[in-house]
């Protein structure tokens, strides 16, 4: 029988990928920064500090890629005032 912690790792990866995709889909209008904490907290709770840092790095990468994809867009859309 598989350990619950062994099943949890792929679920955390899928959760981070899903949040990264949603972050990319919504663009700069909605911040998903708080939601990225959930997989990090779960990894820290079940595995400890070192695996939580690895999950943190994956979440940061997903958020960075979503933000880079929208680089140059105004957070308010086309009608936003800018410089």
20-72 pLDDT per residue, tens: 999 989 888 888 889 999 999 999 998 889 889 989 999 999 999 988 888 76
Burial call 41-64: b when 16+ CB within 10 Å, e when fewer: ebbbeebeeebbeebbebbeebbe
pLDDT band at 82 (very low <50, low <70, confident <90, very high): very low
Q: What residues have CB less than 8 Å from 9, skipping those under 6 apart?
A: none
Higher pLDDT, 49 or 7: 49
What global pTM score does this model have?
A: 0.74
Quick check: 79 pLDDT over 50? no
Residue 21 confidence (pLDDT): 92
């Amino acid at each position: 029988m598989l350990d619950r912690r062994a099943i949890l790792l792929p679920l955390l990866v899928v959760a981070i990928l899903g949040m990264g995709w949603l972050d990319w889909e919504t663009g700069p209008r909605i911040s998903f920064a708080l939601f990225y904490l959930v997989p990090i907290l779960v990894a820290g709770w079940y595995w400890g500090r070192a695996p939580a840092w690895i999950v943190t790095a994956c979440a940061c990468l997903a958020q960075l890629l979503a933000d880079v994809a929208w680089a140059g867009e105004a957070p308010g859309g086309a009608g936003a005032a800018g410089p």
